[in-house]
């Protein structure tokens, strides 16, 4: 076994876990989950059935990644952030439309702050930054900084995490960006 699972955690049958991944205390990885290499899962993380998680993903304590959610490479999920997977949940009529769970995609490098909520059906763009406590109710552009309830864009952020000024050049690493239909993109 070339990954680590704490003795207090549970792995269901039919899971894939990549090399170098660490799964800490009281986690549950459910059937059909596929986890990439060099990921880290803090205490009390639940990964639902059939969830796909890329490489180098960091999930902090008390996060549930429900069926229908996909995390690409280098995603960061802050402590106690929340994913949903049903738009109109009812205990008496579970999945009444029979189509399954709404899909949520978190693109490469995105970071979601502590106690934020991501309503299902959303796409969070590449390297976007979701502020602590924000509630994401719609798609988020690449490199956008989102805060509030509901979340709204207040600026742009570089891949390295530095807030960008109006010239869209990072003062920390020097990367330059251009505006596109999907948010920002690296120039050149």
Domains and CATH numbers, the chain: 1-65 (2.160.10.10), 68-87+98-188 (2.160.10.10)
CA gap 74, 83 in Å, rounded: 17
Residue-level pLDDT at 104: 98
3-state SS, one letter per residue, for 60-124: CCCCEECCCEEECCCCEECCCCEECCCCCCCCCCCCCCCCCCCCEEECCCCEECCCCEECCCCEE
CA gap 49, 33 in Å, rounded: 6
- 39-55 burial by CB neighbour count: b if 16+ within 10 A, else e? bbbbbbbbbbbbbbbbb
Could you tell me the two tokens for 132? 């602590």
CA gap 167, 16 in Å, rounded: 43
Residue-level pLDDT at 87: 85
Strand partners, 112: 77, 130
Residue-level pLDDT at 99: 65
Q: Which of 65, 81, 55 is CA-nearest to residue 28? A: 65
**Per-block average pLDDT, block size 10, for the chain (188 residues)?**
96 98 98 98 97 98 97 99 89 69 96 98 98 98 98 98 94 96 94
Question: Which residues lie closer than 8 Å to 19 by C-beta, 6 or more apart?
Answer: 2, 3, 37, 38
CA gap 87, 90 in Å, rounded: 10
């Amino acid at each position: 076994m070339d990954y680590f699972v704490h003795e207090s955690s549970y792995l269901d049958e039919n899971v894939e876990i990549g090399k170098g991944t660490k799964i800490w205390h009281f986690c549950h990885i459910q059937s059909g989950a596929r986890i990439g290499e060099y990921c880290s899962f803090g205490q009390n993380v639940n990964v639902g059935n059939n969830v796909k998680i890329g490489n180098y993903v960091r999930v902090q304590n008390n996060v549930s990644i429900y069926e229908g959610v996909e995390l690409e490479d280098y995603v960061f999920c802050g402590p106690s952030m929340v994913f949903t997977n049903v738009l109109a949940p009812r205990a008496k009529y579970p999945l009444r439309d029979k189509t399954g769970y709404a899909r949520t995609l978190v693109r490469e490098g995105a970071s979601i702050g502590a106690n934020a909520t991501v309503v299902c059906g959303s796409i969070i763009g590449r390297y976007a930054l979701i502020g602590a406590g924000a509630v994401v109710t719609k798609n988020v552009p690449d490199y956008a900084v989102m805060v509030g309830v509901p979340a709204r864009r207040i600026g742009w952020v570089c891949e390295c995490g530095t807030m960008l000024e109006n010239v869209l050049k990072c003062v920390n690493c020097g990367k330059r960006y251009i505006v596109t239909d999907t948010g920002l993109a690296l120039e050149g």
